A and B are shown apart, each in its own frame.
Chain A
Amino acid sequence: MAATFYGLMARFDTAPDIYHAAQQVRDAGYKNWDCITPFPVHGLDGAMGLRRSNVPKFSLLGGLTGFTTGMSMIWFTGAFDYPLIVGGKPYFSPLFAFPIAYELTILFTAFATIAGMFILNWLPQHYHPVLKSKEILRGLDDAFYVVIEARDPKFDLNRAKALLNEAGAKEISELEA
């Protein structure tokens, strides 16, 4: 079976090189591309033009769910399902429901944050085309890579190659899906 073309993988040797290359790829208007670095490069997210993560939206949703769950649980058990006077207190008050609501807010926020991170990163992901390339081993060790995917609407093989060469790529290889 003939392998389909996935994209281009370009090697850079230093962190400043990939930083400037990322800025050029960003300015060229590509959307489906990524950087592979052996360690976190400070400011690379800005150079790649990444916006802030959407994970906090998941966290907020989780927090609100947790708070509501805690409050309604105490109301359900104490005032609706089996009303019982305990310690001369009302059947329901947000006061004594607060500790449980607060705990569930934290718990559900943590769950939603982890889940949101997994969903937005498409995890778990057991296969990725760059893993097929032997180059990736250097990408985990001492080299920096820019990968531009062929599915990007702006992708054109020759123009993408020219852009990466201009950005100072040391070596460009083609990836199979």
Chain B
Amino acid sequence: MSTHVATISPSVGSASAASSASAVGASANKALVLGLVGLALTGAGVFVSGKAAAFSYLTGLVFWVAVALGALFLIMIHHVFDAGWSTVLRRQYENWVTCLPWLGLLFAPLLISAVVAPGVIWKWTDPSYDLSQVGGHGTVAQDVLWVKKSGLLSTMTLIIASFVGFGGWTLIASRLRAHSVAQDTDGDIAHTHANRFWTAVGLPFTALSMTLCVILWVKALDYHWYSTMFGVWFFAGAVRAALSLGIILTIWLWARGDYKGILNNNHMHSIGMLMFAFTVFWAYITFSQYFLIYMANIPEETFWYSLREINSDGVFNTWGYVGMFLLFGHFFAPFLTLIHYPVKLSKTWLPRVGAFIATVVLVDMIYNVMPSLKNSAGDAYPFVSLNLLWIATSVVGVGGVCVWAYLNSFAKTKLIPIRDPRIVESLTHHE
């Protein structure tokens, strides 16, 4: 039982890793340079736009954290269900999650800012923050809605949660990847069992820590607001972004020739069905959040949506259009596209739909983060502004680092887990 002899030749998939390792290495370096340029531009943005650039950086960073956590969740869901069909796709997700420690490092400046310049991003990191700057009155410390939540909303909690989050996710991701890669060499079934252990521990841990982190990082930007849907909303977006990234990577590798003879129509169909299912899931969560707040009509909740639709003088603002775009672009368009069987099989269309979904996940992130930056009347700054540039530089900057981490890992591993007990089942995946 200690060794599992795979029935396919170990040479499958290794050829590309060996022959084009140098080419991949060059692409990785390009991605890193691009990433560093993006980060440098965002850094310069702080001197131009100040706070707004920091919010933009938070948006871009949280978007890539969502992608990485979505990928981590997909690996764990694969293990927890003992899935067969997705075995040939799993390795690319395992390569991708190597970006998690770097994302943690990139998050550090935000935590440092919370200590050095409290109140810049999260108002509650500075209890003496003057709320009249953002259309309120008094200071944070005099605000009963903060006082009641002060046990959670403090700089110490923010730092500890971020450390525990990134530390735990990195540990889980590295263990899952290390066991999977080690199995390529020795074919030991113990690696599969170890991954099930890490999954059983990792799923509840990641679900809880991710919820806590996004509550502190994103939801608490407007600390008056509360929504029990928020963690699940982030999870839905994260998995959608990760599935989109996965199909883009898969088709890229197929077009390069790596996946020829491995990827079949039924893999495409199954990925398409997952993308479709999570589209509906996202809509369900997002609609429920809006619907409950609309029905209950409690001021501490409704202001969050009012801010994203009208200014304090009653004028409809640009965020209202962004909200409508999310409704149609994030739900109806992918829903009506992915419902068609031929789209799910199309190697041209499915990655395009994926790219679109990933873009709208970013817009959704912008919609959740940016309006929390308010002017002295308590209104959000317009959607179309210089901030979009800083968001773009942050997305390119952090994304470049993620791609660099992925390509580095890609060059070191085989394309598919060649000695996984379920690899044959996956290669012959059928309806």
Please report A residues at the B interface, Cβ cutoff 8 Å: 42, 52, 56, 87-88, 95-96, 98-99
Contact B291 A95 (CB under 8 A): yes
The docked-state distance in angstroms from the alpha carbon of A95 to that of B305 is 14
Q: In the bound complex, do residue A88 and residue B297 qualify as a contact, i.e. CB atoms below 8 Å apart? A: yes
Decide if B341 touches A99 in the complex (CB within 8 Å): no
Could you say which of B290, B291, B297, B430 contacts A99, with CB atoms under 8 Å apart?
Answer: B291
Residues of A within 8 A of B1 (CB): none
Select from chain A the residue with minimum beta-carbon distance to B296: A87
Give 6 nearest A-B pairs by CB, closest first: A95-B294, A42-B430, A95-B291, A52-B341, A98-B287, A88-B297
Q: Which residue of B lies closest to A88 (CB)?
A: B297
* Chain B contacts with A in 61-81, Cβ cutoff 8 A: none
Interface assignment of B144: CB less than 8 Å from any CB of chain A: no
Q: Which residue of B lies closest to A42 (CB)?
A: B430
A95 nearest CB neighbor, chain B only: B294
CB of B295 closer than 8 Å to a CB of A: yes
Q: Which residues of B contact A99 (CB under 8 A)?
A: 291
Interface residues of B in 284-317 (CB under 8 A from A): 287, 290-291, 294-295, 297
- Cross-interface CB contact of A87 among B287, B291, B297, B341, cutoff 8 Å: B297
Q: How far is the CA of A102 from the CA of B431 in the complex (A)?
A: 28
Question: B290: which A residues are within 8 A, CB to CB?
Answer: 95
In the bound complex, CA of A87 to CA of B294 (Å): 11
**Least Cβ–Cβ distance between B239 and chain A, in angstroms:** 21
Chain A residue at smallest Cβ distance from B291: A95
A93, closest chain B residue (CB): B294
A-B contact pairs, 16 of them (CB 8 A): A42-B430, A42-B431, A52-B341, A56-B341, A87-B295, A87-B297, A88-B297, A95-B290, A95-B291, A95-B294, A96-B291, A96-B294, A96-B295, A98-B287, A98-B291, A99-B291
A98 to B287, CA, bound (A): 9
A-chain residues with CB within 8 Å of residue B297 when the two chains form the complex: 87-88
- If A87-B297, A95-B294, A96-B294 are given as contacts, then 7 extra A-B residue pairs at C-beta distance below 8 Å, sorted by A number, are A42-B431, A52-B341, A56-B341, A87-B295, A88-B297, A96-B295, A99-B291
